[in-house]
Structure 1
């Protein structure tokens, strides 16, 4: 009798833990893309419509609710899809892994704007540039049709020295906060996702994901190029270019990671620990849930272009006068004075509402909040520009 009770309790505990695991990471029942204007995933693999060209994620369904990604809401509306308006962006990341493995690959769609991708039409990415480009290209960085395959085991930190400002009102809501992808043939090895503090210590709990247990949502046709060689030569091997791979997508909420009102201010980085078999198109975050900003050093490599135009209160200009403003490299316009400051439009917070038809990037100085403000979009409005942003 004791044995039966213990077994029954153990079975209950296993079922409880399994239920928690399943609820903590959710596979969207449907994903929507912009391949050929509009693409919808299928749960039946026999019904998959294989994408062969660029395919940005424009929406997904979780818990019976459609969420837009902000990429192309018009396409969802035109096809009769009602949705909750959200906005997602790929985490900014940069990595260059030295590996000569023939399985370490850049994947791009078989066709780009209808043009077959092969050795002649190959990626133009410089070998000096970061392969992270392929984890954040496309609209909002949400291109499901470009990826890096079989990335060697490492911690992929989004972004090195990036701090995540988490919106506490989003912690306990039901809206997905993070989207992750696996677009190749998954192994049984686990990818690990977690938030860490500034010293790399886990905040809350980490999530271990075995993508081989996640049902695919679609298939894509690929062209492959060797990521570890320069230039990135076309892979003509059997089973690679011109073949399909399954597309898998998962979503998480902040609360799935054990993020709470008492610890969210300690969550400074989002980290994906790659299994060594990871095939990543992107990992993305909701801009309503968190904001990202960089504390990176400036890029100083390469040749900067001359600044062609300038306004100066100092008696100099032109090639025969200190070569100004050409000597100020990399600018569109140079302003110079040793006694006159630059003053932009000033406004109270209340008067900002009087600016009709503001455009993204417009700037004013808010005299109420004492900060330089930039107009972001109709959803966010005006926001203080007091933190560096990522490229």
Structure 2
């Protein structure tokens, strides 16, 4: 039996614990070895050794699907609430060449041991923020950045304050946070702020060393602050386990109310300096985000290889579209408009097999619409990116 309710924000920290109003899930579930449960029947932690995306969790006896694979999740746990969580998009500065500042990946990928010889591409052109939003829905518990230098991770909520007011007072988690390494006693801070950086509601201070782990994972480590990201073969690092801690929050935990929610334009995570983050996530039913990751300004500049132009200059002499850098497709005209498929709101129902990312122009609402997922459906694509 499936219940469709509002989605919530999850900030996953690999730790289990009732910490004031934030809640440690009773159980977390992943797709390692098809279906992973964080503890076995005896209460012992089960170690994930390969790729492991968060499938869902249980809070207060209620099962919540993360949206990664609700069919599989439901077949294993029975009744559940069908939510849809996404990792917050983020980027952060490197700021350290410390030997414990590390990229963590699963010890095995598709059964292959990860070391200096066998490893995925860890390009120096890839922002470290990528490892906090990779995997299915960005909810990969098996990749993380460890000991991130103290700084703020800011996640913009929609400029029109698109917090869903219907989700403020319900009992469904809105945010998930994670801590997947050995936590220090220094607090991580979570809060919503207004356009001027002032706290809206109240901030939550979390000491992850006081949070009971939810499970364990086996890691391979690579140096994050150096290029190339070489394998860390030192004692106590690669080939060792770390505890997984997860906490969930409701919007009301942060003092968000019907009176102040429209002032909350950013969700901020203040890192302790010893934070080991797999992801921080939000319910797409509870929050709408519009901010994209900062542009990459270093590394190799990539040409745009495909283009359509009415300017008559698609040739080697004009180096077009290669002159337009960093794109997948360039469209260029000074007299002819680009016209996407035009459909009324009612006509969207005739698209029987929509896929995520599909775009049409809605002639009823007069906006470009993008298909999000089966729970959210089509949404107007009319929000600006980061200021």
Q: TM-score, normalised by structure 1?
A: 0.86
1:71-110 to structure 2, matched below 5 A, reads 71-110=68-107
Whole-Å separation in 2 of the counterparts to 1:350 and 1:157: 37
Which one has more relative contact order, counting CA pairs under 8 Å at least 6 apart?
2
What SS class does the counterpart of residue 35 from structure 1 fall into? coil
Alpha-carbon displacement from aligned partner over 1:2-43 (angstroms, at most 9, x marks no partner):
xxxxxxxxxxxxxxxxxxx84511000011000000000128
Give aligned pairs, total.
Answer: 368
Distance verdict in 2 for CA 1:358–1:147, change over 3 Å: closer
What does residue range 1-391 of structure 1 map to in structure 2 within 5 Å?
Answer: 22=19, 24-42=21-39, 47-122=44-119, 124-158=121-155, 165-294=162-291, 298-299=295-296, 302-310=300-308, 312=310, 314=311, 317-319=314-316, 322=318, 324-325=320-321, 327-329=323-325, 334-388=330-384
Structure 2's unaligned 5+ residue stretches are 1-17
**Corresponding residue SS for 1:375:** strand
Paired with 2:224 and 2:28, the residues of 1 have a C-alpha distance of: 28
Name the CA shift for 1:329/1:180 in 2 (closer, same or farther; >3 Å): closer
Counterpart Cα distance in 1 of 2:201 and 2:272: 21
1:328-355, CA deviations, whole angstroms, 9 ceiling, x for partnerless residues?
5555555544433232333332333333
Structure 1: runs of 5 or more not aligned: 1-20
Deviations 1:111-154 (A, max 9, x none): 11111111223453233432112111111111111111122222
Structure 1, 168-177 or 123-132: larger mean CA deviation: 123-132
In the alignment, the residues of structure 2 paired with residue 374 and residue 200 of structure 1 have an alpha-carbon distance, to the nearest angstrom, of: 31
The answer to whether the 8 Å contact 1:122/1:234 transfers is no
**Cα–Cα, structure 1 residues 178 and 80, in superposed 2: closer, same or farther, change >3 Å?**
closer
How far apart, CA to CA, are the structure 2 residues paired with 1:220 and 1:376?
Answer: 31
Point out the more displaced range, 200-209 or 354-363.
354-363
Partner of 1:9: none
Deviation at 1:52, TM superposition (A): 0.7
Q: In 1, are the aligned partners of 2:39 and 2:215 still within 8 Å (CA)?
A: yes
The answer to whether the Cα contact below 8 Å between 2:173 and 2:250 also exists between their aligned partners in 1 is yes
More deviation, 364-373/23-32:
364-373
Q: Highest Rg: 1 or 2?
A: 1
Q: Could you tell me whether the CA contact under 8 Å between 2:89 and 2:292 is conserved in 1? A: no
SS of 1:79's partner is helix
Alignment partner of 2:23: what SS? coil
Shift of 1:265: 1.0
Deviation at 1:388, TM superposition (A): 4.2
Q: Residue 24 of structure 1 contacts residue 252 of structure 1 at CA under 8 Å; is this kept in 2?
A: yes
State the alpha-carbon separation in 1 of the partners of residues 364 and 179 from structure 2: 47
State the distance in 2 between where 1:171 and 1:160 align.
15
Give the match's secondary structure for 2:370.
Answer: strand
**Whose helix proportion is higher, 1 or 2?**
1
TM-score (norm 2): 0.86
SS in 2 for 1:237: coil
Counterpart Cα distance in 2 of 1:388 and 1:156:
20
Is residue 191–residue 210 contact of structure 1 (8 Å, CA) maintained in 2?
Answer: yes
CA deviation vs aligned residue, 1:157-181 (integer Å, no higher than 9, x gap): 2259988621111111111000001
> In the superposition, relative to structure 1, how do residues 96 and 351 fare at CA in structure 2: closer, same or farther (>3 Å)?
same
Equivalents in 2 of 1:292, 1:389: separation in Å? 9
Q: Cα offset for 1:371? A: 1.3
RMSD (CA atoms): 2.6
